[in-house]
Amino acid sequence: MQRVGFLLSPGFQVTTLAVLSVFEGADFRAGELRYNVRMISKDGGPVRSSSGLMVETEKFRDPKFDTLIVCGNILLEMRGSDPAVVEFVRSAAKVSRRTASVCTGAFVLGDAGLLDGRRATTHWGHAQNFKARFPNVTLDEDRIFIVDGNIWTSAGGTAGIDLALAMVEEDAGADVARYVAKLLVVYHRRSGGQFQRSALLELEPKSDRIQSALAFVKKNLNSTISVEQLASVANLSTRHFSRAFQSETGLSPAKAIEKLRIEAARLMIEEGRHSIETVAKETGFADRERMRRAFVRALGQSPQEFRRRTRSETSA
């Protein structure tokens, strides 16, 4: 039986608890308890999450685990890592097969010196602070998870599911990992990076009029869309609409349309069922060359390169 330590600290994020379902699913498939998951903390007893949920834990003592997972905590950047927790994690990494973090748990691994000279990831929203604090770490903020030797790091809370599925695959094989993914109704291997967050949400318009215009764009991506059309949808003059749109989204209407088209095209390419020409037509780029230029500007790679990378990561 593999001993898995799940390290919590006050202010932990509830979403990271979803990782437990992966190990539970693997046990269910095996018909026996193969993962002995222990909820641990510095002092033991109940630990309060950032949302107020209390979880009962054991006081950490023996640092030897098959796998130690440090869960994300929204207070880590403000308060810094607890020295006792850092020392425990450092000790555990010397005697455990795998040491991992979910979300901002990477800050603890960084403070323990476990990421120096390694590649790692963390939640995209904390990437800049992480880079400043740990200049000796090669941070790839557009990865769902990264494995570098026996150190595993993942992005935001739900990315811990992807990380745990990869662990189960390493332990029990791809068939078991696929079964667990199906059981949890998630992707076995999620392609792309954590920047797959919604472009529509990222624009964050404040007024209903601009939101309506963006919704119109989303529904009509495969058509020619003019600023005059969007102004009409928003019930504003063209000049007033352009100023309001730029003020609320930080982008011109043309740039926002391109951003949404790139997102739609990327998702179609990840699905793998359409030719590049079809993707360009269906997402309003009209031709593959225009889409290629947009991809290179936004992603630093062509649609063909993006497709190759997606297929490579999916088959890895």
Q: Which sequence positions are flagged as catalytic? A: 103
Is the distance from CB of 1 to CB of 35 less than 8 angstroms? Answer: yes
CA distance 287 to 283: 10
User: Distance between alpha carbon 6 and the CA centroid of its chain, in Å?
Assistant: 19
Sheet with 35-41: list strands edge to edge. Answer: 45-48, 54-59, 35-41, 2-7, 67-70, 98-101, 151-154, 145-148
- The span from the CA of 20 to the CA of 35, in Å, is 10
Instruction: Tell me the DSSP string of 43-75.
Output: S-EEEEBTTS-EEEEEEP-----SEEEEPPBTT
CA atoms lying within 13 Å on the CB side of residue 308: 5
Longest dimension (CA), the chain: 68
Which tokens is 25 given?
């699913």
> Residue 3, SS3?
strand
Structure tokens given for 98? 């795998």
Location of structure tokens 């608890």: 17
Q: Which residues of 208-238 are buried (b: 16+ CB within 10 A; e: fewer)?
A: ebbbebbeebeeebeeebebebbbebbebeb
CB 121 within 8 A of CB 141: yes
